[in-house]
Amino acid sequence: MESKWVLLFLMIFQLGFEIIECSVTYDSKAIVINGERRILISGSIHYTRSTPEMWEDLVKKAKDGGLDVIDTYVFWNVHEPSPGNYNFEGRYDLVKFLKTVKKAGMYVHLRIGPYICAEWNFGGFPVWLKYVPGISFRTDNEPFKSAMKGFTEKIVNLMKSEKMFESQGGPIILSQIENEYGSVGKAYGGAGHNYMTWAANMVVELGTGVPWVMCKQDDAPDPIINTCNGFYCDEFSPNKPYKPTIWTEAWSGWFTEFGGPVYERPVQDLAFSVARFIQKGGSFFNYYMYHGGTNFGRSSGGPFITTSYDYDAPLDEYGLIRQPKYGHLKELHKVIKECELALVSSDPIITSLGSLQQAHVFSPKSQCAAFLSNYDPNNAAKVTFNNVHYTLPPWSISILPDCKNVAFNTAKFIKLSQIGVESTKMEMLWSDSNMFSWETYNEDLNIVDESSIITSMGLLEQINITRDTSDYLWYTTSVDVDSSESFLHGGELPKLLVQSRGHALHVFINGEYSGSSFGTRKHRKVMYKEKINLHGGINKIALLSVAMGLPNMGGHYETWETGVLGPVALYGFDKGKWDLSWVNWSYKVGLKGESMNLISSNPTSSVTWTQDSLITQKQQPLTWHKAYFNAPKGDSPLALDMNSMGKGQAWVNGQSIGRYWTTFASGNCQGCHYAGTYRPLTCQLGCGQPTQRWYHVPRSWLKPKNNLLVIFEELGGDPTKVSLVKRSITSN
């Protein structure tokens, strides 16, 4: 009988232990896991921007780099592409990704959003959401709140059913609702505040057993924890005194835009910003990004965001270690962990060591840790601390885990051999540059399927018609030119004016290419004004409007318009301007090659391709190219060198590697120095070069032989110079 009571006691004890083991709370100092305050180091890795075959390696490298937590958004538009129809397969297998993190013994910060920004198409919202009657995004609006709540509950219930929350023994220790609401919320006034309060109450009712946060929301209602983002997190947004200080986005670099330079952030400054955050009492920080990855398909937003989302992260776009960023941060993490007990057990005592120098000392009874800071961006400083002399490089922080010996300085690299990394240089290596045998098909400019044509008086908004099923929308009309017009008898040719809010525009007159015009992220309106060739009688004007990703941020961005919205007019006629804005227009969604599924090895219609020997050096616009190739040996990451092409999209075995555009970067590339307040303009690289030249081809997409590469070229590039290359690391 006694043994039964002992067994019962042990069972109750074990049950109680498991409950304690799975608890996540917080206090004024830190996130508390299983009753212990923790300094938590996190990194963003987005499952949608890599492949399932890459996940385990990425997570392992993150853990080896000293991270405790993997942070990811949840991407509403890929999971619910149409109302009530869900997709959690392949790159979108969220549960598999989280289980990969759990298997590695790491935690998860799940940023459900559902608004995420992220330079992602439509900020993560599905396009169908725009057409819910009466909807207004991210405000106190019942249609929006209903849809948002439905998706949030879907994700939370999925996580619960898979026992993903730490309260269930899973890896999720934090969840986030909404994202970067700040200035948008202020624009909405009281409706914004009401919405955030509603969102906070909603997630509390979901009962996940883990804390929730809001990023960049100064007045995050209880019990939500406010967090900050940016290159630095020095001026903390107000939190209640019993909430910890959390930095959800320590930007490791910056994203790139077609036509802009590549931005890098020196690791010395990144380490400096993290050390300064910790010395001021911060306890949780997340690198955005730790691995940026690739905007496969048509997923990049903006518009004009590149297919590469490398972000100058510690793990590059292909998942390879970037030195010295990875190694230097790994050493920083190691030293921070050595100070953890002191950091979570006391508040810092701040002492001036000079006009721009300070000491932050954490000294509970059991340990003493000190951070010695030099905020001077130009000069080193000699300081005295605890009767010992120290030299601090400009714009740097020295960390002393024992308040005596410097274990790490943010501006000084230790030898890479000491951190177990030999390879430091990244380069692209050619594989077989003659591996492709090309065939070509010219896009048919004649619209045959009348059932797919929309006609209307006047110009219509592009996304209302395409619903973002294609980047492309044809606007077509006809003009009847009187044979007596002066320009037909030696006079000056007329000009066509087209103003568009699409992101690119290609103009065709009577089936012949007439020219193109492009916008930029800063100047989204496209202007075309060129002389055109018209003949007497009926002339066909066809405008191909191209979208390059939908907006991902801004107040009421669901109302922003895209496409040829006018005016459209002809100038130079004997009777003056001919306004075409309100004539009869025909609309056709997408390309004929898309409807025929030319990206597949089994297209829906028979196509006559031109063999390689007949391909001219200068291709005409709107041309499809295809070639078969065998997978190169080895396991090095692969990419396509698209330097000889113009603009378009590419697919491998039916999978989209994304949009490409060989547009050249403009900027002020004058070198880069770590010291002083960092902004993206500080470190611009690649001026005069294509913003993006190489496009990631995941190894897992390939078969040993007969892989199909399809390219759709809008402008007329040379496919014979396209090459498959290997991404590798070589030793200095």
What are the respective helix, strand and coil percentages of the chain, to the nearest 5?
25, 30, 45
Phi then psi for 329, rounded to 5 degrees?
A: -70, -35
Cα–Cα distances (Å) from 302 to 144, 420, 552, 690, 730, in that order, read 22, 39, 5, 19, 34
Chain-centroid distance, C-alpha 145: 25
Amino acid identity of 31?
I
Phi, psi of 314 (to 5 degrees): -60, -30
* Cβ neighbours of 233 (radius 10 Å): 23
Task: Judge contact between 472 and 548, C-beta under 8 A.
Answer: no
- Among 350, 384, 379, 343, smallest CA distance to 364 is for 343
End-to-end CA gap in the chain: 72
What Cα–Cα distance (Å) separates residue 241 from each residue in 28, 61, 67, 489?
6, 36, 27, 82
Residue 718's CB: how many other CB atoms inside 10 A? 18
**Catalytic-labelled residue, pool 180, 331, 443, 594:** 180
Q: How far apart are CA 589 and CA 380, in angstroms?
A: 62
| C-alpha–C-alpha distance, residues 583 and 592, integer Å | 25
Distance (Å) of CA 115 to CA 125, 553, 554, 627, 701: 6, 9, 11, 39, 30
**Taking Cα atoms as reference points, which of 162, 724, 714, 132 lies closest to residue 471?**
714
What 3-state DSSP class applies to 243?
coil
Q: Where does residue 69 rank: exposed (0-12), middle (13-18), buried (19+ CB within 10 A)?
A: buried
* Catalytic residue (choose from 80, 119, 178, 249): 249
Q: Is 36 a catalytic residue?
A: no
**Which DSSP helix (H) or strand (E) runs through 110?**
strand 107-113
Number of residues that make up the chain: 732
User: What is d(CA 723, CA 732) in angstroms, rounded to the nearest whole number?
Assistant: 26
Strand-pair category, 349-354 with 69-73: unpaired
Q: How is the beta sheet containing 707-713 ordered, strand by strand?
A: 610-611, 439-442, 623-629, 707-713, 647-652, 655-661
- Residues facing residue 513 across a β-bridge: 508
Contacts of 160 (CB under 8 A, 6+ apart): 168, 208
Supply the DSSP string of 576-597, one letter for each residue.
EEEE-TTSEEEEEES-HHHHTT
Q: Is 626 exposed, middle or buried (0-12, 13-18, 19+ CB in 10 A)?
A: buried
The SS3 assignment for 535 reads: coil
CA-nearest of 182, 273, 252 to 220 is 182
Report strand pairing: 262-263 vs 684-685.
Answer: antiparallel
- The rounded distance, in Å, linking the Cα atoms of 199 and 189 is 16
Examine the residue annotation and report whether 492 is marked as an active-site residue of this protein.
no
Containing H/E element for 359?
Answer: strand 357-362
The number of CA neighbours under 13 Å toward the Cβ of 178 is 33
Amino acid letter, 645: M
How crowded is the C-beta side of 447, counted as CA atoms within 13 Å? 23
Strands 453-457 and 623-629: unpaired
SS (H, E, C) 170-225: CCEEEEEECCCCHHHHHHHCHHHHHHHHHHHHHHHHHCCCCCEEEECCCCCCCCCE
Q: Which residues are catalytic?
A: 180, 249
